[in-house]
């Protein structure tokens, strides 16, 4: 294949031949598991046996009792494709969000939304824009198709620098990605400030609001950018059941955007993508306020414990409000990954501003106490 026929052109021609159904599950999985540092690229996991996973921002308490019951009760439908249940679920989500079903796209985890938008943006040529570090699947997918990734460092408190992001918008910026609360830092933008910013930026480009961690905030603090979608602005919002609701392994989420954009993205889906068990669990989880409250309370207890540990070491960390914390690696990243694995823990190491940073997901309080003891011995 000549250099003049790049990945974007090849992919566009493939879409034409296949009628648009072209999101590769293997590529989605590849990007989800992609290294985020040189240490991760060089490190080869070698432990056989179960690790305490503090590297994937999973909910250690889920699924809820209601979700488990719903899955069991849905087993009689496992022989059926979920065409009608998906349509019904879209109506439920639309009512919850105050939009029409045409504004809703049900997806195989929010990662599918990220990849769909990344692909659609790249096929138009130009660039995607985001803060850094942040959850990078959308940008990685775009780069795979020869798009340019423009990135702006977080501020000194590890919060999005909105002024710098605004200045980085170019005529060929196809989408601005904002993860709030942010992964991997757990930091949060003021809701009103973000809404005002997103409104202005939507006049220049598509604004993607990733709200995977929004439910970790108290209900009164959960300012969603869905309000801008309802006003007709060029904004898309991504939601998931993987985090607070503990359904990461079932892969289900949804997007809210303008109907023309939703139709465009749905053309790239490989369907049927949603399974009966995921739909049943998500449907009951949607209004399971007690389980969400329990998750927040237990997560905050373990988060506070770990942040107090970092403070006792005088190690910088952003003020995380979610289930992960980013802090400077006190030893070289490859050694930390290897020694943590030996002691039974899996974490992540990020590269940022020429330094290595540890990202630790928040497990149960007992898991965090065990990790602190292990980490002390690793960095001693």
> pLDDT tens digits for 7-29?
555 455 444 433 443 455 556 66
Q: Residue 129, by phi and psi: left (phi above 0), alpha (psi -120 to 50) or beta? A: beta
Please tell me the predicted confidence (pLDDT) of residue 179: 98
Q: Mean pLDDT score of the chain, rounded to an integer? A: 92
- Token pair 């290294």 is found at 35
Q: Cα–Cα distance between 152 and 324 in angstroms, integer?
A: 21
160 has pLDDT over 80? yes
Give the containing element (helix H, strand E) for 132: strand 127-132
Chain centre to alpha carbon of residue 281: 19
- Token pair 């493939």 is found at 14
Structure confidence by residue, pLDDT tens digits, 282-333: 999 999 999 999 999 999 999 999 999 999 999 999 999 999 999 999 999 9
**In sequence order, what E strands does the chain have?**
52-53, 104-107, 127-132, 148-153, 173-179, 206-210, 235-240, 253-256, 324-328, 345-346, 348-352, 355-361
Number of other residues whose CB lies within 10 A of the CB of residue 45? 11
Structure tokens at 270: 């490989």
| Rounded percentage of the chain residues whose pLDDT exceeds 70 | 90
- Contact (Cβ atoms closer than 8 angstroms) between residue 99 and residue 224: no
The angle that helices 25-32 and 137-144 make with each other, rounded to 10 degrees, is 130
Domains within the chain, CATH numbers bracketed: 12-62+290-379 (3.90.1150.10), 65-285 (3.40.640.10)
Please tell me the predicted confidence (pLDDT) of residue 34: 78
Q: Cα–Cα distance between 332 and 326 in angstroms, integer?
A: 15
Q: Would strands 127-132 and 355-361 be described as parallel, antiparallel, or unpaired? A: unpaired
Structure tokens at 194: 């973000």
Give, in degrees to the nearest 5, the angle at Cα 84 between 82 and 86.
65
Please tell me the predicted confidence (pLDDT) of residue 22: 47
DSSP code of residue 269: -
Please tell me the predicted confidence (pLDDT) of residue 18: 39
pTM to 2 decimal places? 0.92
Structure confidence by residue, pLDDT tens digits, 201-250: 999 999 999 999 999 999 999 999 999 999 999 999 999 999 999 999 99
Q: Would strands 253-256 and 104-107 be described as parallel, antiparallel, or unpaired? A: antiparallel
For the beta sheet containing 355-361, the strands, ordered from the edge strand earlier in sequence to the opposite edge, are 324-328, 355-361, 348-352
Please report which confidence band the pLDDT of residue 43 belongs to, taking 50, 70 and 90 as the band edges: confident
DSSP code of residue 209: E
């Amino acid at each position: 294949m000549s250099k003049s026929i790049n990945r974007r052109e090849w992919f566009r021609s493939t879409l034409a031949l296949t009628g648009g159904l072209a999101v590769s599950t293997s590529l989605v999985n590849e990007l989800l598991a992609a290294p985020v540092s040189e240490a991760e690229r060089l490190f080869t996991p070698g432990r056989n046996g179960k690790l305490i996973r503090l590297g994937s921002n999973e909910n250690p308490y889920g699924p809820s009792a209601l979700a488990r019951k719903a899955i069991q009760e849905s087993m009689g439908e496992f022989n059926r494709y979920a065409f009608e249940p998906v349509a019904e679920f879209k109506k439920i989500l639309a009512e919850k969000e105050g939009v029409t079903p045409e504004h809703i796209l049900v997806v195989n985890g929010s990662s599918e939304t990220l990849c769909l938008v990344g692909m659609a943006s790249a096929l138009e040529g130009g660039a995607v824009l985001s803060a850094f570090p942040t959850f990078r699947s959308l940008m990685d997918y775009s780069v795979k198709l020869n798009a340019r990734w423009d990135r702006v460092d977080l501020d000194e408190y590890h919060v999005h620098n909105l002024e710098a992001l605004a200045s980085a918008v170019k005529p060929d910026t196809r989408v601005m990605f904002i993860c709030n609360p942010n992964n991997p830092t757990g930091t949060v933008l003021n809701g009103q400030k973000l809404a005002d910013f997103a409104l202005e930026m939507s006049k220049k480009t598509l604004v993607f609001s990733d709200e995977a961690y929004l439910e970790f905030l108290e209900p009164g603090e959960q300012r969603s950018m869905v309000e801008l979608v309802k006003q007709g602005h060029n904004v898309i919002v991504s939601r998931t059941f993987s985090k607070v609701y503990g359904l990461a392994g079932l892969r289900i989420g949804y997007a809210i955007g303008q109907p023309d954009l939703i139709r465009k993205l749905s053309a790239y889906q490989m369907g049927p993508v949603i399974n009966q068990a995921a739909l049943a669990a998500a449907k009951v989880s949607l209004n399971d306020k007690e389980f969400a409250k329990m998750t927040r309370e237990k997560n905050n207890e373990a988060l506070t414990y770990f942040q107090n540990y970092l403070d006792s070491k005088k190690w910088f960390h952003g003020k995380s409000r979610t289930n992960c914390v980013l802090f400077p690696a006190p030893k070289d990243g490859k050694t930390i990954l290897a020694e943590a694995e030996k002691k039974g823990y899996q974490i992540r190491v990020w590269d940022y501003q020429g330094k290595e940073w540890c990202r630790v997901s928040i497990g149960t309080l007992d898991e965090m106490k065990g990790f602190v003891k292990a980490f002390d011995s690793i960095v001693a």
